């Protein structure tokens, strides 16, 4: 069992939603330093003040994680001010919930840059330090959407398939060289944080409570788990997809589980839908 105690933890999108909850849980578990990256100055200031009032050591940085130069600059500042990072939780994410034909080119780049390529750039900045120490943990918050298709979120699905595939590939590479670095890929269904306001689900795939989701992610860090899928039914999706013919799979996922209609009344949250807000809590 790995310990979070005395570790330095960095969380992107860490000023609100499950990012904030994960940060607090790590601090309660004894993390010595929490580095928060977020694009929302109000959330960042509020969370920093709240955590510091409780006596925790916080290093807040305001940045857009899709800006590679900003990521490199802030990573250098983190190393200089907070020291080496032991645990990176790639949590920042966005969604544009509409049919692909209604997307703009900006919508595509906006989603892919935040949800996929930013995670790679952030990880690359801190991976060398982990390799030098021979230890570390990288947590990539993907999505159940990284395991199956879903209407009205095609680009989001593409971004999360990318995260899932890259995260698993990175894990295998690091295990092959006995790096001592763990990689955990997290594939949750909808989490009740506001990012997916208006989605419809049923009892088979209920909307997850943030606290429950965070508990499972933190335990995955402590037990060096390679994957977290929630709720339980998400574990079965790759198997069912592999044995069912495509039309039967569509019927099962679309009509039995109701996934294909889940975004029909999607409203989202104004913060997550604005092009000026390039980071948020992953759901």
Q: Would you please indicate which residues are annotated as catalytic (active-site) residues?
A: 156
Q: Which two tokens stand for residue 87?
A: 């645990």
Q: What angle do CA 200, 24, 21 make, to 5 degrees?
A: 5
| Rounded distance between C-alpha atoms, residue 155 and residue 97, angstroms | 9
Q: Which residue has the tokens 């306001």?
A: 197
- Other Cβ atoms less than 10 A from the Cβ of 73: the count is 14
């Amino acid at each position: 069992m790995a310990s979070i105690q005395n570790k330095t933890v960095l969380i992107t999108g860490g000023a609100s939603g499950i990012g904030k909850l994960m940060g607090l849980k790590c601090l309660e578990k004894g993390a010595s330093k929490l580095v928060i990256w977020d694009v929302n100055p109000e959330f960042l200031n509020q969370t920093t003040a709240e955590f510091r009032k409780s006596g925790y050591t916080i290093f807040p940085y305001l940045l857009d994680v899709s800006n590679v130069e900003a990521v490199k600059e802030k990573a250098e500042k983190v190393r200089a001010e907070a020291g080496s990072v032991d645990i990176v939780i790639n949590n920042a994410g966005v969604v544009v919930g509409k049919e692909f034909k209604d997307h703009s080119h900006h919508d595509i780049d906006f989603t892919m840059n935040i949800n996929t390529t930013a995670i790679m750039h952030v990880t690359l900045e801190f991976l060398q330090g982990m390799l030098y120490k021979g230890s570390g943990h990288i947590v990539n918050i993907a999505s159940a959407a990284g395991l199956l298709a879903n209407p009205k979120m095609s680009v989001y699905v593409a971004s999360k398939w990318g995260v899932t595939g890259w995260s698993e590939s990175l894990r295998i590479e690091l295990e092959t060289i006995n790096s001592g670095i763990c990689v955990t890929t997290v594939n949750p269904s909808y989490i009740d944080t506001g990012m997916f306001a208006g989605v419809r689900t049923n009892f088979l795939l209920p909307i997850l409570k943030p606290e429950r989701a965070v508990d499972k992610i933190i335990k995955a860090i402590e037990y060096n788990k390679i994957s977290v899928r929630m709720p339980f039914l998400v574990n079965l999706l790759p198997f069912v997809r592999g044995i069912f013919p495509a039309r039967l799979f569509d019927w099962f996922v679309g009509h039995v589980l109701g996934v294909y209609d889940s975004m029909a009344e999607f409203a989202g949250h104004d913060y997550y839908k604005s092009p000026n807000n390039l980071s948020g809590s992953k759901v």
